[in-house]
Chain A
Amino acid sequence: MFDFHPQLKQRFAALRTGAEFFSLRYVRESGQYLSVRKNVAEPPSLSRDEGAMLTVRVNGVETYAATNDLSQSGLQAALDKAEQHARRLKPHALLDLREQAVSSDRADYFSPNLDQPFPSLSDCYQLLGAESAAVPKDERLVNWQVSIGITHVEQIYLNSAGAELRQAQRFVYPGLDVTAYDGSDSQTRTLGRENFGQQGGFDVISRCGLVGAGPKIADQALQLLLAPNTPQGPRDLLLMPDQMMLQIHESIGHPLELDRILGDERNYAGTSFVRAEDFGSLQYGSELLNVTFDPDIPEQLASYGHDDDGTAASKQFLIKEGLLLRPLGGALSQFRTGMNGVANSRACGWNRPPIDRMANLNIEPGDQPLEQLIGNIEHGILMSTNRSWSIDDARNKFQFGCEWARLIENGELKGVVKNPNYRAISAQFWKSLSAVGDASTVKVLGTPNCGKGEPNQVIRVGHASPACVFSNVDVFGGDA
C-alpha cells in the first residue's frame, strides 16, 4: 500500500515553479467487474489506472494539468503547463484566490476491513454462479444477472504548504436483477446494483443480502408481472430506504450544492431553486426532517478523512428540524460566498478537478418502527427500489418511479402493484414528511453513478436513510 509514496514525495520535492501555491493529487485505481448472466460466466473486466493532477495558483488564478506521465519530467512538464496557462488566463479569470487558505494537514484514511483479502476470483464466480442457478426455471423469467464490482483506490495528496494526505479504500458493488416477461409486458426486480455500494470486503456482500436472494427476487419479478397497474390519485406514500436514497439525492443533495447556487453548473447539471440567502431561514421540510453530511460511517460509500482539496471532513447538519442551515460547498465555494460548508470538494479520478459534490448525505432516523409507519396510513402505498428519475434543472419538479409497490389500506399492507410512479415539487414535498422510521428501518446505501461537472465526472455517493412517509402525494402507474 502506498508503495509509490516515497518516490512521489521525492519527485514532488524536486518540482520547480514560480507559482505561489501548488499541489499534486496522485490516484491509483484498480477494478474488477465479474458477472454471471443466465448461468453463463461473462469474461471478467479488469482495470489498472494511475495518474496525477497538478494544480497551481499564480497571482490568484488556479489552473490544473493532469498527466499520465508520472516521471520527474512528466510531472514538471504538467506543472509548467498549468503555470503558463494560469499566467495567460489572468485577464479572463472569474476568481482571485490569493487570499484563500490552503490545507497543511497530514493524515491517513483507510476503508474498514481493508487488510482482509477479498475472496478469490474463482470464489466470486462460484458465488455468482450459485445465485444465478438458484433463479427458478420458469419460461417467463427471460433474463437474470448476478454481479460483483470491486474497486481499490489509493490517493496521495501533497501540496506546497506541507499537506500530506493518504487514502486507501475498497468499494464493493454487489447486484442481482431478474426480468420476467409475459409476451407483452416485462418487469424487472433488482437487488443492489445502482442502489447499493459500500466500503469494506466480503462483509458488504453479506450486508447487501446477495447470498440466497435469487429465488426471492425472481418471485417478486413474477408477482409484478401478474400485478395490476398502480392506481392514479393522491395517497400517503411510504418510501423505503432504496427509494429514499434517490429522493434525498435529487431533491436535497443537488439543490444544496453551492456551485450550482453560484451558477457554475447552469450550462450542464443545472441550477437550484435554493438561493444563498435561504440558508438559516428557509423551512425546507417538516420538523421531522434532519439531514446530515456524515463522513464518519465507516462502511458508507463516501466516508473519508479529507476531501480532494485537503479539507478535513466532519459530520454537519445541513437541515435541522426542517430548517435549512448549511450548503454542500467545499473550501473554494465557502471562500467565494463567505458561507459555512462541508468538506465535499471531490474529483472522480486523477484526470478531473475537484468540484462541489455530494458525499454521504443522510437522513437521521426518527422514532417509528416500520409496522407503526404502515399502521398509521389509512390510504397509501409503499414504494421500493428506484428505477426511474427525472427532475428539472432547478431540482424542483420531479417524477420518480420504483420497481416494487404495495397498496396500504386502513393500516395494512395489501396487494402488489406494478409501474409505481409519483410526482411532486421539492419545495413542497419535504414539508409533507409526516413520519420518519426509527433506526431499525435505516439502510446504509450508495451509488457509484452521480454525474455532474464540465468536464463531466461520475462519482460515488452514499445515502443512509430510514423509511419515511409523505402525506397526500400524486401517484400513478403505467400504460401496459
Chain B
Amino acid sequence: MSTSSNQAEAFKALVHWLRDAVREPEQFTLSYAAESSAFVRFNHAKVRQAGQVQQASVGLKLIDDGRHADLNITLCGDAQVDVQRLAEGLQQLRDTLPLLPQDPYLLLNYTAWQSRNIQEHPLPDTEQVVAQITQAAEGLDLVGFYAAGPISRGFASSSGAFGWHQANSFNFDFSLFHDNGQAVKASYAGHDWNSEGFASRFAQAREQLAFLGRPQRTLAPGQYRAYLAPAALGEIMDMLGWGGFSAQSIASKNSPLQKLYAGDSSFSPLVSLDEKVSGSLSPAFSGEGYPRSDLGLIVNGKAGAQMVSSRSAAEYGLTANGASGGEMPSALNMAAGELPGAEILKQLGTGLYISNLWYLNYSDQPAARLTGMTRFATFWVENGEIQAPVSTMRFDDSAYSLLGSQLEALTAERELLLSASTYSQRATDSALLPGALISRLTLTL
C-alpha cells in the first residue's frame, strides 16, 4: 500500500500530467480523495466482522468554451495505469463537452491559492486496539464499530491552485446494552489513541449503564420539560443542516429554514451557530476548488450567512464561500450558554434527560416541524434526580419552538462530536455543541 506522502506525490504527478495534456483554452479542476481504513465491528463484546479497505479516486472537471462536465475515476495506485485512466477520462470529457449547451451558472475560481495541512500522528496497531476494547468490555454486552487510518484530500486547478489535506484519525463508536434492552451510547475519537483516555471514556459509559437497570418508565404522549444532551441536539442540527443553510434550497423554497431566512421566524437570541472551518478536522478547501470560509449561519437567533457554492453564487448573484455542491455545513460550532453542567438536573427539575435522538425527519418542512425518536439513555428526572430509564418515545415539534420560544438555556460546556459516518468514505465532519434545556417538548407516540 502506498503511504500518504506517496499519495501526495502521486497526485502531484497526475496534476503535472494533466497540465501538460490540456489544450488551450481548456481548463480543469482535479480533486483527490483517498483513505486506507481498518474497520472492525463488534457484537457481544467480540469481533463480528473485520477488514481493511484501500481506496483512492480523482474527480476531474473539464471546462471548455463555457461547457463543463465532471468525471470521478477510481485510481489503482500504479502511476502508469492511473495516468492511462486519467487520459481516458480526459478523452471521455472532451467527447462529451460538444454535446452540451453552455452553462450560464459556471463560475470558476481563478486564484492560485495554496493550502497544505498534514497530520501524521501514528495510530495504534488495530489488533492492540481490539485487545483493549475486548478487555474493557469483559462481562458487558458491547456493540460498536472502530474505524481508523489515514485520510487524504487534494485539489488542483489549471489556474495553479493546489490544496493538500492529510490526517490520521480513529473513531470508536459504541453502545453498552443492559440485559433489559436499554443502552448507553458513547464514542472515543480523534487523532491520538490514548489508553487512559479510552479507559476514562469507557468508564463514563459504564457508569450510565448502571442507571439503566432501574425499572423502565413508560410516558404518555404530552408535553414535557426536557434536556437535550449535545449528541441529541446534534441530531437536530444535522437535520437542519440538510438544506437548511443552502443558498439553492433557500432560493428554491425547499429550505426548512426559509422562514428564518425570510425574517418571518427566529430562534432564541441564545442561538448562534457558525460553520467554523478553521481548527476543524475537515479540509480547508472545497471539492470544487474554493478555500472555505468561517461563516456565522445564525447570529443571536437571526439568519446569518448562507452556504454558497460556486453554482449558487452565479445563479443568485452571491459570493461563493467554499461550500460544497451540496451546500451543507461540516464544521458546526454553536455558542455555549451559561448553564453549568453540574446544574443540568437541578434546572431540569422534573422532565426528560435525553442523551440521543434518532431518525429525524420533517412533519412539515416549511414550518421546520420535526419528528423523531428518543434512543439510548433517556431518563425520567424528578426534582433534579434521575428516577428511571424511559421507553422509546416519538417527539413532533417545531425547531422554532425547541430552539426558540421554549429554549431556556444552553450549557456552558460543549462537546466535540466527530462524525462516525462511513458512507462511501470516512467523514471528516464535526460539531461542537452545548446541551439545551427545553421547557416544552411534545411527545406524540
Interface residues, chain A, CB within 8 Å of chain B? 40-51, 53, 62-71, 74, 77-78, 81-82, 85, 88-89, 92-95, 120-122, 125, 142-143, 179, 181, 184-186, 188, 262-264, 266-268, 270-271, 351-353, 355, 388-394, 396-397, 399, 401, 419, 421, 423, 425, 451, 454-458, 477-480
Q: Report which of A50, A65, A92, A270 forms a contact with B74, defined as CB distance below 8 A.
A: A50
Contact in complex: A186, B254 (CB < 8 Å): yes
Contact in complex: A393, B392 (CB < 8 Å): yes
Contact in complex: A69, B76 (CB < 8 Å): yes
The 3 closest A-B pairs by CB, nearest first: A478-B364, A143-B252, A64-B51
Contact in complex: B49, A353 (CB < 8 Å): yes
B294 CB, nearest partner CB in chain A, Å = 28
Cα distance, A41 to B104, chains bound together (Å)? 9
Segment with Cβ contacts to A, from B19-27, B53-61, B223-231, B430-438: B53-61
Residue B147 interfacial (CB < 8 Å): yes
**Can you name 30 A-B pairs with beta carbons within 8 Å?**
A41-B101, A43-B67, A43-B70, A43-B103, A43-B106, A48-B73, A49-B72, A50-B74, A63-B51, A64-B52, A65-B51, A68-B54, A68-B55, A71-B76, A71-B78, A81-B52, A186-B253, A263-B143, A264-B48, A267-B175, A267-B185, A390-B373, A391-B373, A393-B375, A419-B363, A454-B422, A455-B39, A455-B145, A457-B423, A478-B366
Cα distance, A156 to B104, chains bound together (Å)? 43
Contact in complex: A392, B48 (CB < 8 Å): no
Residue B117 interfacial (CB < 8 Å): no
Contact in complex: A51, B253 (CB < 8 Å): no
Contact in complex: A399, B371 (CB < 8 Å): yes
Contact in complex: A262, B43 (CB < 8 Å): yes
CB-CB nearest in chain B for A264: B43
Q: Which of chain B's residues 169-197 have a Cβ closer than 8 Å to chain A?
A: 173-175, 177, 181, 183, 185
Residue B394 interfacial (CB < 8 Å): yes
B 91-125 to A, binary, CB cutoff 8 A, 1 in contact else 0: 01100100111011110000000000000000000
Cα distance, A15 to B286, chains bound together (Å)? 41
B 16-52 to A, binary, CB cutoff 8 A, 1 in contact else 0: 0000000000000000000001010111101111111
Cα distance, A350 to B369, chains bound together (Å)? 39
A contact residues around B143 at 8 Å (CB)? 263-264, 266-267
Cα distance, A82 to B38, chains bound together (Å)? 11
Residue B13 interfacial (CB < 8 Å): no
Contact in complex: A40, B131 (CB < 8 Å): no
Residue B305 interfacial (CB < 8 Å): no
Residue B396 interfacial (CB < 8 Å): yes
Residue B416 interfacial (CB < 8 Å): no
In the complex, which range does the number of interface residues on chain B fall in?
A: 35 or more
Indicate whether A399 sits within 8 Å of B394 (C-beta atoms), given known contacts A74-B77, A390-B371, A423-B444: yes
Contact in complex: A46, B361 (CB < 8 Å): no
Cα distance, A122 to B422, chains bound together (Å)? 35
Q: Report which of B73, B103, B392 forms a contact with A392, defined as CB distance below 8 A.
A: B392
CB-CB nearest in chain B for A424: B445
Residue B339 interfacial (CB < 8 Å): no
**Further 19 A-B residue pairs, CB within 8 A, beyond A94-B47, A142-B253:** A43-B69, A46-B92, A47-B73, A68-B77, A71-B76, A85-B52, A89-B47, A93-B46, A184-B264, A264-B41, A264-B49, A268-B173, A390-B373, A390-B394, A393-B358, A425-B445, A456-B422, A457-B423, A480-B366
Contact in complex: B392, A397 (CB < 8 Å): yes
Cα distance, A94 to B39, chains bound together (Å)? 15
Q: Report which of B48, B56, B147, B364 forms a contact with A68, defined as CB distance below 8 A.
A: B56
B300 CB, nearest partner CB in chain A, Å = 24
Cα distance, A397 to B258, chains bound together (Å)? 29
Contact in complex: A455, B367 (CB < 8 Å): no
Indicate whether A393 sits within 8 Å of B44 (C-beta atoms), given known contacts A66-B52, A267-B144: no
Indicate whether A48 sits within 8 Å of B85 (C-beta atoms), given known contacts A92-B46, A143-B253: yes
Residue B127 interfacial (CB < 8 Å): yes
Indicate whether A454 sits within 8 Å of B55 (C-beta atoms), given known contacts A188-B254, A267-B144: no
Contact in complex: A266, B46 (CB < 8 Å): no
Indicate whether A423 sits within 8 Å of B144 (C-beta atoms), given known contacts A68-B56, A143-B253: no
Contact in complex: B75, A68 (CB < 8 Å): yes
Cα distance, A40 to B248, chains bound together (Å)? 14
A contact residues around B127 at 8 Å (CB)? 85, 88-89
Indicate whether A393 sits within 8 Å of B422 (C-beta atoms), given known contacts A43-B68, A94-B43, A478-B367: no
Indicate whether A47 sits within 8 Å of B71 (C-beta atoms), given known contacts A71-B76, A94-B48, A267-B144: yes
Q: Report which of B47, B55, B73 forms a contact with A92, defined as CB distance below 8 A.
A: B47
